[in-house]
Structure 1
Amino acid sequence: MIFRPFTTGLLALCSSTFTSASAIPHLDDQVVLNYADHATNPHSIDADSFTRPSWFTSTLMARRLLALSPSGVMSTTFPSHIPDSSRTPAEVAGLPIGLREYIADCDGVLPADLSHGDNGDPTILALRVATTFRNIGAGSNLSLEIDWWDHLSEAGAVYPGLPPSPAALPRFTLFGYLDTLPELSGAAAASLEKCFLQSHPDAKYWLPGAPAAPHASFWARLVVTQVYWIGGFGDVQQIGWMNVTEWKGVRRHGSVAGVGDGRGWEDVRLPGEKSAVGAL
Structure 2
Amino acid sequence: MFFKTLYWLALAWSTSLTSAFETVEDAASIARTLMTSTGVGTMATLYPNDHPYLAGEPFALQEYYSSCHTNGSLTLIFMPISRHSQNILHSRNHSASITVWSSPPAASQARVSLMGKVHVFPDGTGGENSIRECYIKSHPDAKRWLPDNEHGPHTALWARFDPHTIYFVGGFGDEHYIGSIPLPLYQETNPTISVTGRLNVQL
Compute the displacement of 1:100 (Å): 1.0
Q: 1:4: which partner in 2? A: none
Q: 1:141: which partner in 2? A: 95
Write the mapping of 1:39-78 to structure 2, written as runs, cut at 5 A: 47=14, 48=16, 51-78=20-47
* SS, match of residue 59 in structure 1: helix
The two structures have a TM-score, normalised by structure 2, of: 0.80
Q: 2:55: which partner in 1? A: 93
* SS, match of residue 63 in structure 1: helix
Q: 1:126: which partner in 2? A: 78
Query: How many Å separate the matches in 1 of 2:85 and 2:137?
Result: 23
Write the mapping of 1:124-273 to structure 2, written as runs, cut at 5 A: 124-139=76-91, 141-148=95-102, 151-152=103-104, 166-181=106-121, 182-184=123-125, 188-252=127-191
Percent of aligned positions with the same letter in both sequences?
27
Query: How many Å separate the matches in 2 of 1:239 and 1:183?
Result: 39
Compute the displacement of 1:80 (Å): 1.5
Query: How many Å separate the matches in 1 of 2:108 and 2:43?
Result: 22
Compute the displacement of 1:211 (Å): 2.4
Query: How many Å separate the matches in 2 of 1:79 and 1:192?
Result: 30
Compute the displacement of 1:224 (Å): 1.2
Compute the displacement of 1:213 (Å): 0.5
Compute the displacement of 1:54 (Å): 1.2
In terms of fraction of residues, the more strand-rich structure is: 2
Paired letter, 2:158? W
Query: How many Å separate the matches in 1 of 2:148 and 2:20?
Result: 50
Paired letter, 2:88? I
Q: 2:49: which partner in 1? A: 80
Compute the displacement of 1:141 (Å): 2.8
Query: How many Å separate the matches in 1 of 2:155 and 2:53?
Result: 28
Query: How many Å separate the matches in 1 of 2:155 and 2:50?
Result: 25
Paired letter, 1:192? I
Which consecutive unaligned segments of at least 5 residues does structure 1 have? Answer: 1-45, 83-89, 108-117, 153-164, 254-280
Which consecutive unaligned segments of at least 5 residues does structure 2 have? Answer: 1-12, 193-203
Runs of 4+ in 1 over 6 A off after TM superposition: none
Paired letter, 1:247? Y
Q: 1:103: which partner in 2? A: 65
Total equivalences in the alignment: 175
In terms of fraction of residues, the more helix-rich structure is: 2
The two structures have a TM-score, normalised by structure 1, of: 0.59
Give the number of the structure with larger relative contact order, counting CA–CA contacts within 8 Å between residues 6 or more apart: 2
Q: What's the C-alpha RMSD, in Å, of the aligned pairs? A: 1.8
